[in-house]
Every structure is written in C-alpha cells, then in structure tokens.
Structure 1
Amino acid sequence: MSQFSSAESRLNTAKEPTSGFSPRRLLQTAWLVVAVFMLSNAPTPLYIHWKQQLGFTSGTMTLIFACYILALVLTLLVAGQLADRLGRKTVIIPGLIASLLACLCFITADSVYTLLVARFLTGIAVGVTVTASMAAVVDAGGESRKRQAALVASIAMVTGAGLGPVMSGVIVRFVPHPVYTVFAVELLVQLSALVIALRLPSAAKKVAAPRPLRLPTIPKANMFHLLLGILFFAPGLTSTSLMLSLGPVLLNNFTAVGSPVIAGVMACVMFAVAVGTQILCRQLPIARIFYVSGAALLVTMLSVVMTLHGGDVKSLFLAALAAGAAQGLGQLGGLTLLSMNIAADRRAEANALLNIGAYIPAGLLPVATGYLIDFTGMTFSFTLLAATLVAVAVFALGLLIKQRSVTL
C-alpha cells in the first residue's frame, strides 16, 4: 500500500487556512451527514404501509426508490464542482432546504406523485451530502487530521443510514400515525442540521477564471481502473438497494416475521457491516478487497434465493449482512484503485464517475425487478435478479484474475 500512501501525501500538499482544531466543530459538521442519511433510509419500514394505504404495486414501490437514485446521480454531476468553487456552506444549505421540503412532502403524502417528489428531494440532499458535507467534515479535521476526519465522515454516513430505519421501524410499530410522527422527528433533525450549517465558515475558493460546469471525465489510460471499480461496487450497491426497497416485501411474504422494527434493524445492521468491513480491510491489497467483495455478493444472492425457497428470517439477515460487506468493500476497493492510479487534480471527477456508474444500475435493476414481480411473481423475479448479479460478479472476478498486473 506504499503507492497509495504516496498518492495520499501528494494530495495533502495543498495548504488549508490555518485554524485551531476543534473536536466539537468536527462532530457538529459530522451531524450534517448523520441527519441527511437518517432521512435517506427512514422511509424503508414505511413502504409496506404506503403500499397498503395508497394501493400501488411492487413496481411502483421500486420506482419511488429509483426516483431517489436519479436525483442523487444528477446532483453528483454538479455538486462537487460547485462546492469546490463556491464553498461548502453555499452548497450545503440548499441541500438541507431540499431535505426539509422532503419531510413536508412525506408528512402530507396522499398519492404516489407526492412520494416521488419527496424521494427526489431526498436524493438531492444526499447528493449534496456525499460531496459538500463530507468534504466539510474533512475540512474540519484540518491538515494534520484528514485521515481521522475522513473516517469520522464515513462513520457518520453509515450511522445515519442505520439510525433512520431503526427509528422509523420503532415508531411504525408502537406509535399511532406513524408517517406523521417519523417525519415530524426528521423535520426537527434536519432543522438542527440547518442551524449548524448556517454557522459554518463562509470562505469560498476564489477562482480567477472559473470554468463552465461540465460532465465528469477520466483519462483514457484509466478507463480499465474505473470499469473494474464499477464492476465490484455496482453489484454491492445494487444488493443493498434491493434490501432497502424490496427487503420489507421479502420479510413480509417469505418469513414468519413481518415487523417494521425487524426491517429497520436489518437495514441498520447492513450498513454497520458496510463500515466495519471497510475499517477491518483497509490495509489489504486491492485485489483481496475485491475478492472478498465478490464473494460477499455471491453469499448475498445465495441467501436471497434460499429465502425464496423455504428459508426464514435468518437467511434474509445473512443476505443483508453479506450485502453490506459487498457494498462496503466494493466501494473501498474502487476508491482506492482510483486514488492510486489517477492524478489528484482528476480524482474528484473519477470518484463521481465511480458513484454514477454504481448508482445507475442500483436504481434500474430493483425497479425492473419490482415491475417483473407484478407480472411473474416474486420467486422468479428475485431469482432472475440474483442470477444477473452473480453473473456480473463472476465476470468481474474473472477479469480481476486475468488482469492482476494492471490493478496492483
């Protein structure tokens, strides 16, 4: 990993404004990430409730989830560039306003269209968070604590992603009027984040001749690195998207446990595994990280098929655990591979392309599965998706074995 350390040191040569390090400021800035990611997954235990109340199909349910992915991808195209040029605060505040509007839409949702708008606004807020807010957390760590601050940002993301569905699941199970209660709490959380964001430093980078916004690009010599990263990150992300959008359906129809609390806990554990495996495996060679990610993806799909054919809640939980590992390690391997092989001044664009390449199939495949369920039933649809992702994982592992000299 010496090459990675060298690349990291070159990246850290840019000087930041000197200011005293404040643990309180670091944690407050991390709360921006926790807050928005709580909102991103809070709807998970409520999908069955909305499906019953509004009478929509499984295909429509996955379309609501995909609307979030679409907004996130579109935001990723510009949010990072804007945050670098205008300053973090200038971009974070509109993102939090989008999250507040999303809460209001969820509270008043009486149709599928309102839910689509709510999820789209949530996607905008998350797109801003993974670019501007997470960069602000690293900024708060200062020059000498960038690695520690990056770890805080990663933990904040997973903490929020896990807390959201647990909080929502408990409210759905024990509190009357669950939709109103969940998003009233979320509204307060987003308001607290907005208060913190308004107190962030306003220093923006001054650019003498600002370039127009453009689509992210990557040098042709690095196309293979990007492709390999996407081939491992995308199936893992698709598997976690599947567990978030259709996991409650699997839980409700193929196990003896249909509690929204269990659905929330399952999502929480999945994201805890995602961050835990990244921490445990961060020093491994990239090839090994990818091997473990691919193996975890195979376990995920096998566990889903087992659930469909006589399994129980244990096999579904195993699928969630393995999905978290597949996503976490696929993301870690892809980001590390790009960091080691792409110059610092092109790295942000490469990371954006990696996320876009992963989020597009993560949105499209669960939607296709949801609509296929309406025509062919759950067993065939989930089995077909599992076979598709297994085929991608096997292809990626074969490509990794064949081209090891390119990646190490």
Structure 2
Amino acid sequence: MTSTDVRHTPARAAGRVPDQDSGRALERAAESPRSAVWLAAWPVTAVFVLSNAATPLYVVWQREFGFSAGTLTVVFAAYIVGLLGALTVAGVLSDRIGRKPVLLPALGLAALACVVFATAQSVVALGLARLLTGIAVGATVSAGMAAVADVAGPARKRLAALSASSAMVLGAGLGPMLAGVLSETVPGPTTTVFVIEAVLLATAFVVVYRIPLAPARRAAAGTAGTPGGRLRIASVPTANRRQLLLGIAVFAPGITATSFVLSLGPSLLAGLLGTSSRIVAGSTAFVMFAAATGVQFAVRRLAVRTTLPAGAAAVVVAMAALIGAVQLASAPLLFLAAMLAGAGQGLGQLGGLTLLGATVPRERAAEANAALNVGGYVPAGLLPVSVGYLSDAVGLRTGATLFAVALIAAAVAAVALVLADRAATEQF
C-alpha cells in the first residue's frame, strides 16, 4: 500500500490514526529555537493591545456623548459578551480545523474594531467596537495560545504557558499606556492609537501566516465535537476537570479585579482622586499589567501548588488596598491595588495554563484554554457592570467597597479550595 493509500484509509478519515503531517510539524516544533516560541506569541500581544486601548479614552467619550458610569460598564461588558461568545466555539473549532483558519479572521475583526473605534460618534458605535474586540480576543485566547504551545512542542510546555500568558498581559498593559500618552500628546486623541494598533495587527497577520503550525488533527466522533460533527461548548476531558476548576477559582477573582480597574479606574481617579489625566489612567493600567507580566517571570520555576494560592492572596491584599483607596481618597493605595490585582491575575492565569498545558491532550488544547477563560471572564463581566449601576445609585465609594468585599470572599474561598485539593497540583 502506498503512502497515498494510507492517507485515505477509513481509519484516518475517522481520525483514529494520528496525522503524519501533524506529527512531523510537532517534531519540527521541538527543534525550533526559543525565539520562535516568543514570536508565535506576538499575535496574542497585538490583539490584547486592542483589548484595553480604549480604557483611558472613556472619559473623552463620556464628555462627548454624555453617558453614566452604568452605561460605561455596559460598553465595557459588550467586550465580555463578544469574548464569551467566541470562547464557546473558537477553542473547539481551532482544535478541529487548525489554528490559522481561526486566527486570521480574528485579526481581521480586530482591524475592523480599530476602524469603528477611530470613527465612533455614539455609544452604540463604542459598544459595537467593544463587541468586535471581544470576538477577536476570544478567538485569539483559544487558538493563539494553543498555537504557541504547538510551536513550543511537548518538551517545553512550561515555556509555552509562560510566553502565552505573559504575551496576553503585556499586550493588555501596553494598550492603555499607548492610548493615554498619545491622546494627550498628538492630534486625534481617540484616533491615533487605533491607527498604530492596525499596523501592529498587520505585523501579527504576517506572523500567523508564516509560522509553522501543525494541521488540525481530525477528531474521532465525540472528541472534538459532538457526534455528527456538531460543535460543543468548550470543556475539558473528565480527568482534567479538577485542574480546570482550580485554575478558574484563582484566575476568576484576579481577572475580575483587573476588569474593575479597567472599567471604573478612570472614574475613580477623576471622581475620588481629582485627576482626569489620561496619561495617569493609562499608566495605572500599564503598571497593573506590568506587574502581571513581571510576576510570571519571577515565579516561573515555582510549583503550581505555590503559584495558585499566591495569586489568590494577592487579590485579597489588592482589594483591601482598594477599600483603603476609596475610603481615604488615596492615589498611592489605588496604584498599589492595581499592581496587586495584576499580580493576582498573572499568577492565577499562569497557574491555570500550566496545569491544563501539562495534562490536557494537544488535540483539545485550544478548547481547554477557552474553558479556563470562560470561567474567568463571566464574573469579570457581570461584577463590574453590577458595581457600575450600583455606584450610580449609592455612589462610587460604596459600590467599590462592596465589590472589594465580595472579591475578598471569592479569593479566600479559592485559597481554601486549592489547599484542600493539593493532589490535583502535586506534580506541577
């Protein structure tokens, strides 16, 4: 039987025989230099620059369009809606049809979001831009992070988790810093940053197009999709559900804390601390995500059983600092809260990705990434919106305090959960 005949046997068509091209690509990945892994993470960074680039600009749009803090959090949450919608299918789809067919359209949607942001004349346009951004980010979180793991190869799973996770938070911090500085130093305060971001996305498109990625493995019925080939909502194999639960338990409070700072941080700065500087707002977000990036490099050799409780503890201290900041109108405490919130997200994200990367089969890697992010972004969307409308009724100081108390409780529960199930993290 020729090699051509082997490719078209019924067993291969059903996905029961490993794909030879996929295997060869994985072998090449194992021999690729470390720099190739970091290059593969660039599209993740480029898309996440867009994810938070609008943060310092909301005060400008609020002044122009005249909307409340509640409406602001709804605009912010439109991103979460798009992201969750993409996460529910993009991970499974990426595992079935390949990384590039998911990533390239995602970059196109991100570029379209730049156009809508740059030309926005209403709250509806801002909501649409945020929705498109969320879809692009959801697809990139799923397929982009899995692509990094593919390039890293099976022998460098921890490097893959570190590069993908740090690329995400680095981009998330660069976006608001660029927007804040550019909006106050160059013409077009709500336009220039999105023009630059479009250029960054173009370079990411080239990277995705050129990096060597294994073709999708055809899954057997009931693995990458439901019987009959239909897609399902992102999940993980039964054997990995404990690891997924532990990752979500810590990642969710961390990313909810950073989402609060992103959505209502500028309002806190303006209303409680008396500054409307977009540079200060952007720099606060950058410092937060710089902490998220730096802490991951600092703990990259630590075991997950240490990383996860440390992430939850960072959220507890961050929320205590937030309470102090709003009660005392203290800018230093607010900056401290932002840094610790970033550290909490970074530690929870790295711990969760490491657990899943070490245990979930490659053919479900993107789906596992999606499931982790769904678990984190649901509270990250719901709680800030609730606090936004609550703050319209009772004041930003009271709303922020109640939010901090709720997140402290969630983080303490996460520590208890991780410590009670040490067996699930013992090997990592």
Q: Does 1:281 align with 2:289?
A: no
What is the CA-CA distance between 1:311 and the residue it aligns to? 3.6
In the other structure, the counterpart of 2:23 is 15
In the other structure, the counterpart of 1:124 is 135
Which of the residues 332, 339, 347 maps onto 1:321? 339
The structure-2 alpha-carbon separation of the partners of 1:184 and 1:219, relative to structure 1 and needing over 3 Å to count, comes to closer
What is the CA-CA distance between 1:201 and the residue it aligns to? 5.0
The structure-2 alpha-carbon separation of the partners of 1:247 and 1:94, relative to structure 1 and needing over 3 Å to count, comes to same
Classify the secondary structure of the residue corresponding to 1:270: helix
Q: Does 1:106 align with 2:117?
A: yes
Q: Does 1:252 align with 2:263?
A: no
Q: Which segment drifts farther, 100-109 or 325-334?
A: 325-334
What do the CA deviations read for 1:12-65 (whole angstroms, capped 9, x no partner)? xx8342547367755553332221111111101101111111111101111111
Q: Measure, in 2, the Cα distance between the counterparts of 1:136 and 1:206.
A: 13
In the other structure, the counterpart of 1:388 is 406
Q: Which segment drifts farther, 366-375 or 189-198?
A: 189-198
Q: Measure, in 1, the Cα distance between the counterparts of 2:115 and 2:290.
A: 29
Q: Which segment drifts farther, 156-165 or 357-366?
A: 156-165
In the other structure, the counterpart of 1:239 is 257
What is the CA-CA distance between 1:238 and the residue it aligns to? 0.2
Which amino acid in the other structure matches residue 232 of structure 1? V
Which of the residues 379, 382, 397 maps onto 1:361? 379
Q: Which segment drifts farther, 329-338 or 145-154?
A: 145-154
Classify the secondary structure of the residue corresponding to 2:233: coil
Equivalent pair of 1:85/1:204 in contact (CA under 8 Å) = no
Q: How many aligned residue pairs are there?
A: 395
What do the CA deviations read for 1:278-311 (whole angstroms, capped 9, x no partner)? 2222333434323222221111111111111124
Equivalent pair of 2:87/2:139 in contact (CA under 8 Å) = yes
Which amino acid in the other structure matches residue 44 of structure 2? V
Q: Measure, in 2, the Cα distance between the counterparts of 1:294 and 1:148.
A: 23
Q: TM-score, normalised by structure 2?
A: 0.84
Indicate the RMSD between aligned Cα atoms, in angstroms.
2.7
Q: Measure, in 2, the Cα distance between the counterparts of 1:405 and 1:268.
A: 36
What is the CA-CA distance between 1:256 and the residue it aligns to? 4.1
Q: Does 1:183 align with 2:191?
A: no
What is the CA-CA distance between 1:194 and the residue it aligns to? 2.5
Q: Measure, in 2, the Cα distance between the counterparts of 1:342 and 1:170.
A: 41
Q: TM-score, normalised by structure 1?
A: 0.87
Which amino acid in the other structure matches residue 42 of structure 2? W
Q: Which segment drifts farther, 133-142 or 153-162?
A: 133-142
In the other structure, the counterpart of 1:230 is 248
Q: Measure, in 2, the Cα distance between the counterparts of 1:15 and 1:271.
A: 36
What is the CA-CA distance between 1:339 and the residue it aligns to? 5.2
Q: Does 1:70 align with 2:84?
A: no
The structure-2 alpha-carbon separation of the partners of 1:399 and 1:306, relative to structure 1 and needing over 3 Å to count, comes to same
The structure-2 alpha-carbon separation of the partners of 1:115 and 1:154, relative to structure 1 and needing over 3 Å to count, comes to same
Classify the secondary structure of the residue corresponding to 2:187: coil
Q: Which segment drifts farther, 199-208 or 26-35?
A: 199-208
In the other structure, the counterpart of 1:44 is 55
The structure-2 alpha-carbon separation of the partners of 1:224 and 1:60, relative to structure 1 and needing over 3 Å to count, comes to same
What do the CA deviations read for 1:320-343 (whole angstroms, capped 9, x no partner)? 111011111122333344456666
Q: Among all aligned residue pairs of Structure 1 and Structure 2, give the percentage whose two residues are the same amino acid.
A: 49
What is the CA-CA distance between 1:190 and the residue it aligns to? 1.9
Q: Which segment drifts farther, 286-295 or 92-101?
A: 286-295
The structure-2 alpha-carbon separation of the partners of 1:233 and 1:146, relative to structure 1 and needing over 3 Å to count, comes to closer
Residue ranges of structure 2 left out of the alignment (5+ in a row): 1-21, 222-228
In the other structure, the counterpart of 1:7 is none
Equivalent pair of 1:73/1:360 in contact (CA under 8 Å) = yes
In the other structure, the counterpart of 1:139 is 150
Classify the secondary structure of the residue corresponding to 1:48: helix
Q: Measure, in 2, the Cα distance between the counterparts of 1:400 and 1:369.
A: 28
Which amino acid in the other structure matches residue 295 of structure 1? A
Equivalent pair of 1:66/1:367 in contact (CA under 8 Å) = yes
What is the CA-CA distance between 1:200 and the residue it aligns to? 4.5
Which amino acid in the other structure matches residue 191 of structure 1? A
Classify the secondary structure of the residue corresponding to 1:246: helix
Q: Measure, in 2, the Cα distance between the counterparts of 1:258 and 1:238.
A: 23
Residue ranges of structure 1 left out of the alignment (5+ in a row): 1-13
Equivalent pair of 2:165/2:350 in contact (CA under 8 Å) = no
What do the CA deviations read for 1:371-398 (whole angstroms, capped 9, x no partner)? 1111111111111111111121222333
In the other structure, the counterpart of 2:7 is none
Classify the secondary structure of the residue corresponding to 1:205: coil
Classify the secondary structure of the residue corresponding to 1:283: coil
Q: Which segment drifts farther, 28-37 or 343-352?
A: 343-352
Classify the secondary structure of the residue corresponding to 2:23: coil
Equivalent pair of 1:166/1:268 in contact (CA under 8 Å) = yes
What do the CA deviations read for 1:60-106 (whole angstroms, capped 9, x no partner)? 11111111111111111221222222222211111011011101110
